[in-house]
Amino acid sequence: MQSWNGTVTLITGASGGIGAALAREMAKTGATLVLIARRDGLLTALRDEISKTRAQITMTSYPLDITNAPAVDRMIDDVVRRFNRIDVLINNAAYGIDSLFVDTPMAAEREIFETNLFASLYLMKKVLPIMERQGGGKIMNIGSVVGHRAMPLMSSYCATKSALKAYTESLRVEYAKKGVQVMYASPGHTQTEFLAHQKRFGVTHRRGVPTTPMTVDTCARLLVKALNKNRRDTILTGIGKLGIFVNRFFPSLLDRVLLSRV
Ligand SMILES: NC(=O)c1ccc[n+]([C@@H]2O[C@H](COP(=O)([O-])OP(=O)(O)OC[C@H]3O[C@@H](n4cnc5c(N)ncnc54)[C@H](OP(=O)(O)O)[C@@H]3O)[C@@H](O)[C@H]2O)c1
């Protein structure tokens, strides 16, 4: 395990699922943790849990909605005042919409972009100058396999992840000479509350996900490994890699497979 002693890591969506598992995994590296999500009680419980086994870890949490720009400004100012640096930003907070395109209200299309895309962009706009000034840093944008190839019944979610991938690719090159690594990582089906947190509109036709989910601990371990190795674009699951390969060379075959889901 690479040591991150003396460095500061921000994780959004740290109150549960992959974000909380990432906090537990990053705690093993000795990094100072800044945990961000709306549910304060869960953030406090996570801090208590981590500090029981890793008393030496410095942790702080900010209960805020990442779409609230003034709250994000105050959080960043406070982190810089307290720790004087930000070394890692993991843009992890997001949610899904499980609905037919025509049933998804326009307001919901805009809202999901606010959380899944624009909030991450805003955080990067705040953090990149700090990283550049201090001579380096790492940003990991948590995407999805469906950011590589969109699926039916989740068009808006797929579009947010695909747009985040495009920004990541641009920024990766823009910041390469400035010592800042900008990465995209794509979990596949992972055992979290993600499906329970999805918004739904109209009649949902969606069947269960036909794969065994990855555990959050495995997911977090693979993500921290990718972070350590500066992997530009990590796909975490075998089925995800297969789907992206099939889509690249036989897109109409994948269309036919996906027709069974509609
Ligand atoms: N689970 C999967 O199968 C899967 C697959 C591919 C990609 N992913 C990606 O992995 C990431 C984590 O998802 P997950 O599976 O861990 O989902 P999850 O269990 O639903 O967790 C989502 C986290 O995001 C936070 N969040 C959502 N909206 C927020 C907001 N407006 N402001 C602040 N925090 C917010 C939630 O905290 P609060 O409610 O406390 O704010 C929660 O901590 C997401 O980017 C997701 O797209 C997941």
Query: Which protein residue has the closest C-alpha to ligand 1 atom 7?
Result: 144
Residue 259 has pLDDT above 70, yes or no: yes
Write down the mean pLDDT value for the chain: 95
Kindly report, residue by residue over 67-96, the tens digit of the pLDDT: 999 999 999 999 999 999 999 999 999 999
Mean pLDDT of 119-135: 98
pLDDT surpassing 90 at residue 206: no
Q: What is the CATH number of the domain that holds 55?
A: 3.40.50.720
User: Structure tokens of 86?
Assistant: 């930000």
**Alpha carbon distance 192, 181 (integer Å):** 27
Strands 180-186 vs 233-235: parallel, antiparallel or unpaired: parallel
- On whether the CB atoms of residues 205 and 251 are closer than 8 A, the answer is no
Domain range for 126 is 8-259
Show the tokens assigned to 107: 């307001």
Q: Is the CB of 147 under 6 A from ligand 1?
A: no
Is 70 exceeded by the pLDDT of residue 207?
no
Locate tokens 């690249």: which residue?
A: 248
Give the integer Cα–Cα distance in Å for 95 and 108: 12
74: tokens are: 């105050």
The owner of tokens 């909380």 is: 20
Token pair recorded at residue 242? 């297969």
At 172 the three-state DSSP class reads: helix
Is residue 37 assigned to a domain? yes
Ligand 1 atom nearest the C-alpha of 96 is: 47
Hey, how many other C-beta atoms are within 10 angstroms of the C-beta on 189?
21
CA–centroid distance, 6 to ligand 1, in Å, is: 27
Does residue 1 lie in a domain region?
Answer: no
Predicted confidence at residue 255, as pLDDT, reads 92
Domain count, the chain: 1
Confidence (pLDDT) at 11: 98
- Asked whether residue 3 is domain-assigned, the answer is no
pLDDT of residue 140: 98
Task: Tell me how far apart the alpha carbons of residues 114 and 130 are, in angstroms, rounded to a whole number.
Answer: 23
Q: Which of 24-28, 156-160, 228-232, 250-254 has the lowest mean pLDDT?
A: 250-254
User: Which residues partner with 142 through β-bridges?
Assistant: 185
Best CA proximity match to 138, nearest among 37, 22, 232, 16: 232
Read out DSSP for 17-52? Answer: HHHHHHHHHHHTTT-EEEEEES-HHHHHHHHHHHHH
Residue 57 CA, ligand 1 centroid: distance in Å: 24
The question of whether 157 is a catalytic residue gets the answer: yes
Element (H, E) at 11: strand 8-12
Pairing status of strand 180-186 against strand 88-91: unpaired
